[in-house]
Structure 1
Amino acid sequence: MNIEHIRSFCGDKYTISHIYVDGKYFCDAIEDKDRGLTSDMTEAQIRNIKVYAQTAIPYGKYNVTIDIVSPKMSQKAVYNPIRAKLPRLLNVKGFDGILVHIGTTEKSSAGCIIVGKNTIKGRVTDSNKTFFALYALMQKARAKNESIIWNITKKK
């Protein structure tokens, strides 16, 4: 499964992206501010630029797992149907525990990716529905032993 995450708007506090699953538009996302980090930077370079809980993760390609329980999200009943096993991007330099999850603004993010529909400036809506639809696709990919790759790029 290939997920293309194309950042299309970079504001002062948040970033809006379009998400494509296997080449087909699926949803939008909101993240923290894009500070121009890339996966080919060193850990030290990233940590020098990063502002904790206010920085989008580096551009790059990441493997995704849906097999790890999020201790923080396990406290939220909305994730009970999936036993708090949220999609987690692996090996993100300078960041720990980067998840794809439900929310509305960059304040819900702390570096994570919030999926939904960008119908209101600076927000996403329909996040619950969007998240669980994306999660179902990821489960199907895993059931077929497909890897899940999340590729973050910038609109050209």
Structure 2
Amino acid sequence: MAATETRFTLTRKILAGAFTLGVLVTGAHQYSTVEDTVRPLSNCSTTTCTGKIDGKTAIPAGTYEIRDTWSPRFGKNMLELVGVPGFVGIRIHSGNTADDTEGCLILGMRHTGNGVADSRAAMAQFNQEARAALKRGRVFITIKDDPA
């Protein structure tokens, strides 16, 4: 059987001063997201970019591969976005607001005023879906800015 590619799309809808809200569509499900602030970035190396504030900057819009890798910080395997210019260790995990992330993506079942709710339920569902897709082949996420 040939390996397949699965593609998810995250569309950022609200780019507020201290946080960013969006919608992640996987095909089977739709999730609410919260991230750090989107900032203009340039001159990116492997680990940093001009304009990046460590722990307070959303990853740049683009398409990235998702892999299931060991997280020393969380002490377990987690889904990671790889190949992000200027960023390393970008995970998809639970939380409620941008205060719970350091450049990572946080998923929930619905938005709140400044974040997401029901994050653990969203992560359980998303992890199951993404890991099933990884068993079939490669998984990618496209992140785009499309404020309302």
What is the TM-score when the length of structure 1 is the normalising length?
Answer: 0.84
Give the corresponding residue for 1:81: none
Q: Which runs of 5+ in 1 are unaligned?
A: 75-83
Secondary structure in structure 2 of the residue aligned to 1:43: coil
CA RMSD of aligned residues (A): 1.6
- The Cα of 1:25 is off from its aligned counterpart by 4.9
Contact 2:109–2:121 (8 Å) recurs in 1 = no
Quick one: distance in 2 between partners of 1:113 and 1:119? 14
* Corresponding pairs, count: 140
Give the corresponding residue for 1:79: none
- The Cα of 1:119 is off from its aligned counterpart by 3.3
Residue 57 of structure 1: which of 56, 59, 66 is its match? Answer: 59
Q: Once the two structures are aligned, what percentage of the paired residues are identical?
A: 24
Matched, 1:31 2:35: yes
Quick one: distance in 1 between partners of 2:63 and 2:14? 19
Contact 2:56–2:103 (8 Å) recurs in 1 = yes
- The Cα of 1:117 is off from its aligned counterpart by 2.9
Quick one: distance in 2 between partners of 1:123 and 1:71? 26
Give the corresponding residue for 2:70: 69
Letter in 1 for 2:65: N
- Structure with greater proportional helix content: 1
Secondary structure in structure 1 of the residue aligned to 2:14: strand
- Structure with greater proportional strand content: 2
Secondary structure in structure 1 of the residue aligned to 2:53: coil
Quick one: distance in 2 between partners of 1:59 and 1:142? 22
Residue 17 of structure 1: which of 22, 25, 28 is its match? Answer: 22
Can you list the C-alpha shifts for 1:87-109, whole angstroms capped at 9, x where unaligned?
10001111110000010100111
Give the corresponding residue for 2:79: 87
Secondary structure in structure 2 of the residue aligned to 1:34: coil
Quick one: distance in 2 between partners of 1:119 and 1:140? 26
Quick one: distance in 1 between partners of 2:60 and 2:38? 8
What is the TM-score when the length of structure 2 is the normalising length?
Answer: 0.88
Give the corresponding residue for 2:98: 106
Secondary structure in structure 1 of the residue aligned to 2:142: strand
Contact 1:18–1:25 (8 Å) recurs in 2 = no
Give the corresponding residue for 2:115: 123
Decide whether aligned partners of structure 1 residues 8 and 25 sit closer, same or farther in structure 2, where only a CA change above 3 A counts.
farther
Following TM superposition, the consecutive aligned residue runs of length 4 or more in structure 1 with deviations greater than 6 angstroms are none
Decide whether aligned partners of structure 1 residues 55 and 107 sit closer, same or farther in structure 2, where only a CA change above 3 A counts.
same
